[in-house]
Amino acid sequence: MADENTAAAAAGGEDKKLSDIFLSGWNLYEELDVSELPFNGSEFQNKVKTALGHFEEATVIVNQVGMFSPNELIDEVSTDSLPFMLLPYFLGSLPPKINNPKQHRDLGSGGNLFQGPSATLPGVRAM
């Protein structure tokens, strides 16, 4: 499990725990949900992009370590790995919050992520 929880960061070469990266993104996501910051404000937009970056990084790590095997059913997934099955949800729900003039093009990619974990986590399949 230690291999699954650490990955060399692209910048700086320091080790980061997968769970820390994921929780950082989740905490920012929850903060954005209750935030009273202006949607178009730079602080809100920076938090959205930072949270999205955390979830993208976590997804890369999950895929690199092969956390979800294509031959295991959902009830065989370890309890510790279950939160990482939410990555497609977070990756799909954050892009619409980005204030971008070309946003209607980005909405299509976000919708694809809502198709389920198998869209971004290739080892996951339904029971």
Question: How confident is the model at residue 57, as a pLDDT?
Answer: 97
Residue 127 pLDDT class (50, 70, 90 cuts): very low
Distance CA(96)–CA(115), nearest Å, equals: 16
pTM for the full model? 0.71
- Specify the amino acid at residue 94: L
Residue 68 · residue 75 · CB < 8 Å: no
Higher pLDDT, 103 or 33: 33
Residue 100 · residue 110 · CB < 8 Å: no
Question: How confident is the model at residue 117, as a pLDDT?
Answer: 54
Secondary structure (3-state) at 80: helix
Q: Where are the alpha helices (DSSP H) in the chain?
A: 2-5, 18-34, 42-65, 87-93, 103-113, 117-120
Question: How confident is the model at residue 122, as a pLDDT?
Answer: 62
Q: Where are the domains of the chain?
A: 2-120
Could you name the CATH architecture of 2-120?
Alpha Horseshoe (1.25)
Question: How confident is the model at residue 113, as a pLDDT?
Answer: 55
Distance CA(64)–CA(61), nearest Å, equals: 5
Question: Taking Cα atoms as reference points, which of 91, 52, 64 lies closest to residue 5?
Answer: 64
In this predicted model, what pLDDT tens digit does every residue of 66-104 receive, in sequence order? 898 888 888 888 899 999 999 999 999 999 898 876 655
Question: Taking Cα atoms as reference points, which of 23, 123, 116, 29 lies closest to residue 72?
Answer: 123
The length of the chain in residues reads 127
